[in-house]
């Protein structure tokens, strides 16, 4: 029997190299979009709609009061919006039963390019084991798509891809070179992921924005079990 593939697309700029329709795609944007999405869906958000631009997000204001709008600029909640991109905002009190419109450039870009996949799900350290357990039941090709930073490689998304591979390795998938590299980097970082990621350029940028607590939050492993899945334009809780 031919092995299924377990591959890593290191940045959305490389997605055209893959036939996404042959894969289950996992979107990864650790700081902070996919972490916030996992936490929001876990806490009862009916749906989360990722958009690229603040203006797109604002347009949902006219659609009714059931939408919560999330947008940041330079680390501050944009005036008139309900909250920013901090995962701490996605509490049950705030999001249960609501639809959140989330402004996230890198994550939205990766999602849009992956629409033709067999399934598009969301991964973060928060739902790592739940995600991997579900992937193990699928017996299908898997593409881990790192949202990256401005279309380029970043360490945190790649390290998470390596963590997924670590849990799936026992199933003997065929790995490509990016998957081998991601898993090797995870071996280097796994004993103290937060410490390992301190050296990233992106981590430095986020620290400058004063969101050290958000970063620590996003590094928590297995805080949640919900798997957000793309249905049309919305991310909702996977039911099967």
| Positions in the binding site for a second copy (CB under 8 A) | 10-11, 13-14, 17, 149-155, 158, 175-178, 180-181, 184-185, 187-188, 199-202
In the bound state with a second copy, the residue whose beta carbon lies nearer, of 138 and 201, is: 201
Q: How far is the CB of 230 from a second copy (least distance, A)?
A: 24
Q: How far is the CB of 148 from a second copy (least distance, A)?
A: 9
In the bound state with a second copy, the residue whose beta carbon lies nearer, of 106 and 154, is: 154
Report the alpha-carbon distance of residue 86 to residue 63 in Å, rounded. 24
- Helices 105-113 and 33-42, interaxial angle, to 10°? 80
In the bound state with a second copy, the residue whose beta carbon lies nearer, of 43 and 152, is: 152
* CB proximity list for 25: less than 8 A, separation 6 or greater: 114, 117, 118, 119, 120, 121, 142, 143, 144, 145
Q: How far is the CB of 156 from a second copy (least distance, A)?
A: 9
In the bound state with a second copy, the residue whose beta carbon lies nearer, of 3 and 63, is: 3
Q: How far is the CB of 37 from a second copy (least distance, A)?
A: 22
End-to-end Cα distance, the chain: 26
> Which secondary-structure segment (H or E) carries 237?
strand 234-237
Cβ neighbours of 165 (radius 10 Å): 23
In the bound state with a second copy, the residue whose beta carbon lies nearer, of 127 and 183, is: 183
Bridge partners for 37 per DSSP: none
In the bound state with a second copy, the residue whose beta carbon lies nearer, of 18 and 81, is: 18
SS3 90: coil
- Quote the tokens at residue 228: 């957000």
Q: How far is the CB of 152 from a second copy (least distance, A)?
A: 5
Q: How far is the CB of 217 from a second copy (least distance, A)?
A: 21
Distance of CA 184 to the CA centre of its chain: 21
Cβ burial of 94 (10 Å; 0-12, 13-18, 19+) is: middle
């Amino acid at each position: 029997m031919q092995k299924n593939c377990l591959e890593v697309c290191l940045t959305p700029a490389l997605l055209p190299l893959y036939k996404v329709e042959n894969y289950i795609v996992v979107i990864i944007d650790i700081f902070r979009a996919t972490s916030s999405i996992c936490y929001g869906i876990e806490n009862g958000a009916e749906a989360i709609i990722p958009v690229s631009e603040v203006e797109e997000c604002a347009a949902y204001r006219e659609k009714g009061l059931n939408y919560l709008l999330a947008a940041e600029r330079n680390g501050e909640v944009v005036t008139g919006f309900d909250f920013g991109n901090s995962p701490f905002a996605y509490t049950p009190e705030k999001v249960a039963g609501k639809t959140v419109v989330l402004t996230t450039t890198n994550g939205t870009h990766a999602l849009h390019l992956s629409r033709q996949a067999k399934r598009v799900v969301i991964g973060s350290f928060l739902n790592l084991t739940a995600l991997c357990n579900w992937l193990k039941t699928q017996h299908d090709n898997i593409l881990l798509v790192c949202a990256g930073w401005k279309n380029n490689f970043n360490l945190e998304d790649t390290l998470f891809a390596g963590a997924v591979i670590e849990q799936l390795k026992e199933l003997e998938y065929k790995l490509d070179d990016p998957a081998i590299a991601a898993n090797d980097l995870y071996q280097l970082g796994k004993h103290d992921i937060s410490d390992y990621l301190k050296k990233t350029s992106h981590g430095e940028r986020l620290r400058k924005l004063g969101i050290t607590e958000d970063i620590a939050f996003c590094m928590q492993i297995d805080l949640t079990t919900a798997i957000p899945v793309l249905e049309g334009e919305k991310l909702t809780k996977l039911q099967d």
